[in-house]
Amino acid sequence: MYSKVAAQDKLLSGNKAYSYIDQIPALAANAQQAYDIYYPKGKKTIYKQFEDEVQAQINTLADKSAYQSSLLSMLAKRYDEDGKTHDFSKVTIAKDKGIQQLYTEANTHFHIELDHFVRAVNAQMDAVIKERLIGIPLAERMLAIHREHVPAFAAAVKKVLKKLDDAISAKGYGSVIEKNETSHPYYIQLLEIRGIMLDRVLQVYTQVNSSNIAAAMTVDACKKYPESCK
């Protein structure tokens, strides 16, 4: 369901955050492939490349906000640093109430979908643990469970984000960020919503990446300590 990682220029020029869901690199086909992707350590995988590129776009949004958004500062992972020189408590952000309501609803729906995904995965993992699987067989089952549930989760999140993006476009705000219309009354609000959308993309990506890493680490452990995996 996923394509290879997007190029940097495509990520930074696109205005549809939800479309990046389709650019998340696929789950490893098996535990050995996961190991081959991440080991030996130190190389930059396509997964890390994707993460860095989406994070770079979030950082760009924070730059555009010019210290007018504590949310974007946090998403850019520099809130503590920015807070030393700027008092975010004194910032007031103008907001389109209709768009803000839709954003709140989208945020709620995202967390509902995330909860459904986690519950579904955990339920199957609990059953696997009861089978007392260890080592590579356990890693293979974990990957299989994620391959079963990640596509539906990703599709649901994409649907939520697209609905919000469509509402923003319907209000005529779709090109505000691309045209850098800093004088637009809702410029900061729109920057924040884009940032949250990209953060949701990264949360879907995290489910893929964490599963891959866990499988790769299991294979690595079995190679180093084969007796522990028997």
Q: Which helix (H) or strand (E) holds 220?
A: helix 187-224
In the chain, domain spans: 8-229
Name the pLDDT band for 12 (thresholds 50, 70, 90): very low
Residue 2 scores a pLDDT above 60: no
For residue range 90-106, list pLDDT tens digits in order.
Answer: 999 999 999 999 999 99
| Whole-angstrom distance, CA of residue 36 vs CA of residue 54 | 24
Question: What does pTM read for this prediction?
Answer: 0.91
- Which residue from 204, 16, 191, 203 is spatially nearest to 99, judged by alpha carbons? 191
6 to each of 18, 45, 84, 191, how far by Cα in Å? 13, 13, 35, 21
How is the chain split among helix, strand and coil, in percent rounded to 5?
75, 0, 25
Whether 25 contacts 208, CB under 8 Å: yes
Name the pLDDT band for 65 (thresholds 50, 70, 90): very high
DSSP 173-216: -TTTTTTT-TTSTTHHHHHHHHHHHHHHHHHHHHHHHHHHHHHH
Burial 167-199, CB ≥16 within 10 A → b, else e: bbeeeebbebbeeeeeeeebbbbbbbbbbbbbb
For residue range 168-219, list pLDDT tens digits in order.
Answer: 999 999 889 989 999 999 999 999 999 999 999 999 999 999 999 999 999 9
Average confidence (pLDDT) over 61-85: 94
| Whole-angstrom distance, CA of residue 205 vs CA of residue 55 | 12
For residue range 218-229, list pLDDT tens digits in order.
Answer: 999 999 999 888
Average confidence (pLDDT) over 76-95: 93
| Whole-angstrom distance, CA of residue 230 vs CA of residue 72 | 48
Percent of the chain past pLDDT 90, that is, above it, reads: 83
Structure tokens at 135: 């080592």
What are the backbone dihedrals phi and psi of residue 206, each rounded to the nearest 5 degrees, phi first? -60, -35
| Whole-angstrom distance, CA of residue 129 vs CA of residue 141 | 10
Average confidence (pLDDT) over 39-63: 94
Name the pLDDT band for 5 (thresholds 50, 70, 90): very low
109 to each of 112, 161, 174, 200, how far by Cα in Å? 5, 10, 22, 12
